[in-house]
Amino acid sequence: MYLSTEVAERERQANQSRVISLSTWALSIALVGLAISPVTRNNRPTKTALLLSAAALTASSQASATNLATHDRVLQDFRDISDNQRQQLIYEAMKPADILKPSEVIAAPPALLTHNISAEIAANLKSTVLLGAPRAGKGYALAKALELLPDNVDLWLIDPKDDPNESHYWPQVPVTQRVRFDVTTLNSEAVDDKVSGLFERFLLASSSAERPKLLVVDECSPGLSKGMTPKAYKAFMGRLATICSVGPSKGKFVWIMAQASTVEDLAMTSGNKASFRLAAVGHAQQTEKSWYSSLKRSMQVEPPADALTGYIQMLDSEWGYSQPFQLTPTDAHRANEPEFGPESQAVLEYFQQHHPDNPRTLRQLTQAGFARKIGLTSQPAMRAAIAPLASAELIAEDDGGNFLLAPS
Amino acid sequence: MSAPQILIENQNALGHNVEQISLDTNRVNIHSETTSRLANAISISSRGLWVDVSSWLVYCAAAFSVASLALDMGAAPWAVALLFGVPLISLTILIGAVIDRRPALAPHGMIRFLLLFIGAVIAVS
């Protein structure tokens, strides 16, 4: 940093030199004018003295001009230095993105959504088609949604799987309003009878906007589409499509679960898409790519972004991370099993074993030994592994983007 | 002025090799250095035009007025001719040399002669 007093002194000297130089120069011209004026023209000694004085003043004028040049040069040096320092200060205050040229700036990828299908479809009752690959968790997502529904909803269920592992999914549905059977053990006519029997009772049951009725059809396709006779299945699906489009005003709703690979079996296509809500669940790595492409073929839903990992959900044609299910007391017997994937589990163990109080950035985590071992070397993958832990409030993120173990 | 050249001979497995290199040097060419300094003295400055011209005029007028006064006061003409003629001839030779070496500065040299003449007129009139 230069001394401002020194600069001020230099400026004072420069101005002084400028004044002296100009005034002596003007004076010398005036003396020459006086020397050739009629008053002194004939007085030779006076004229010579005037011209000699003019020459002396000219000499001092030139000397002052030389000083002025020196002062100006020093002042210019000070300006250059302070320019550099100002530039340096501006540079230090800038963010890295500002320093890059516009052509070098890499646009940040769009933020990835996090869906909670269960909460979202329970919050706003509407006829819904939930598509999901096998073992992707669509039954569990819908069971959670049933838990979140208000009490005034009249629940009905057709469950052609009758999987004992999933028997705890539907405790809210009254026993008299559910039909559960194993479609693989029955012939088509028997399945027709069971489905149409419950469906007739569902249609006849009273409903209003204050007490809506909701029919949950599990495993509609391929379970029912292959299990029922084609004629009965077509009639059944036609009625479901009608309920989708005209039911809401009468308080009639259906929730249909199916696998997207056979979605053509459903009466719901992209043509009458507006009458129902389309949701889907899948797994970014474990679900086959062909499942997503068939979903795109039948429903024009774009496949999920490559950055997504783990269990993912789709709502309104947008794929996002799946928010982990909140455990409820009825799930107590399942609480001992970890809900998290192996990657999230590894991250949690790393935090618990290595200085729990020490916050870490995403970059530090990807460079840790455990991350290299299980292949979590990219920051999006690490963020995906942390997301379920953060949702479960086991790991917290502070304002600076550092992660640390949440106090238990 | 060209830099000194030297030869380096080398005999190795690849054969006999002679290489000529030029030594780096910081010596200046005296002739061109003299020319540029003379040209700087005679050429009319573009930055300080009025000060430059008027100071030349004033110095010439002062010198001629001193010579004129000396003659008026009875000094020997040969002494005055010797004292003021030698610098005057030197200056003339200088301007001529600049015009010779840098023909582009011929107008500048002519203006210097003109200023010399005007200075003499101011002193003598």
Domain ranges of chain A: 4-99, 113-327, 342-405
- Looking at residue A248, its amino acid is P
Q: Which residues of A touch B (CB under 8 A)?
A: 25, 28-29, 32, 35-36, 41, 44-45, 47-48, 51-52, 54-55, 58-59, 61-62, 65
What pLDDT shows up at residue A332?
46
- Range scoring the smallest mean pLDDT among A10-14, A177-181, A271-275, B94-98: A271-275
Q: Which domain holds residue B95?
A: 30-124
Rounded average pLDDT over A98-114: 71
Chain A residue with CA closest to B60: the answer is: A55
Q: Do A51 and B65 touch (CB under 8 A)?
A: yes
pLDDT, tens only, B101-112: 999 999 999 999
- Token readout for A314 is 């789709």
Q: Do A32 and B122 touch (CB under 8 A)?
A: yes
Q: How far apart are CA A211 and CA A3, in angstroms?
A: 83
Task: Please tell me which of the candidates A29, A35, A45 has its beta carbon nearest to residue B54.
Answer: A29
- CB < 8 Å from A in window 50-109 of B: 51, 54-55, 57-59, 61-62, 65-66, 68-69, 72
Rounded average pLDDT over A350-364: 80
Q: Give the number of beta-carbon pairs within 8 Å between A and B.
A: 57
Q: How far is A71 from chain B (nearest CA, A)?
A: 17
- pLDDT band at A48; cut points 50, 70, 90: very high
Q: Is residue B20 part of a domain?
A: no
pLDDT, tens only, B3-31: 788 898 888 888 888 888 888 777 778 88
What pLDDT shows up at residue A2?
53
Chain A residue with CA closest to B51: the answer is: A25
Q: Is residue B6 part of a domain?
A: no
What pLDDT shows up at residue A105?
67
pLDDT, tens only, B50-96: 888 999 999 999 999 999 999 999 999 999 999 999 999 999 999 99
Q: Annotate A279-327 with DSSP letters as a single string.
A: EEEEETTTS-HHHHHHHHHHH-PPPPPTT--SEEEEETTEEEEEPPPPP
- Range scoring the smallest mean pLDDT among A19-28, A92-101, A369-378: A92-101
What pLDDT shows up at residue A333?
47
Contact A192, A252 (CB under 8 A): no
Burial class (CB in 10 A: 0-12, 13-18, 19+), A36: middle
On chain A, the residues whose CB falls within 8 A of the CB of B62 are 48, 51-52, 54-55
pLDDT, tens only, A139-157: 788 888 888 888 888 889 9
What pLDDT shows up at residue B73?
92
Q: How far is B59 from chain A (nearest CA, A)?
A: 5
What pLDDT shows up at residue A240?
82
Give the right CATH number for A113-327 from 3.10.20.740, 3.40.50.300, 3.20.20.70, 3.40.190.10. 3.40.50.300
∠ CA A102-A108-A109, rounded to 5°: 140
When divided into structural domains, chain B yields a total of: 1
Q: Do A52 and B66 touch (CB under 8 A)?
A: yes
DSSP-derived letter for residue A304 is: P
Chain B residue with CA closest to A33: the answer is: B122
Instruction: Could you please state the CATH topology (level 3) that the domain comprising A342-405 is classified under.
Output: Arc Repressor Mutant, subunit A (1.10.10)
Rounded average pLDDT over A89-110: 70
Map tokens 């009490």 to a residue: A151
Rounded average pLDDT over A304-326: 76
Kindly report the average pLDDT of chain A as a whole number. 81
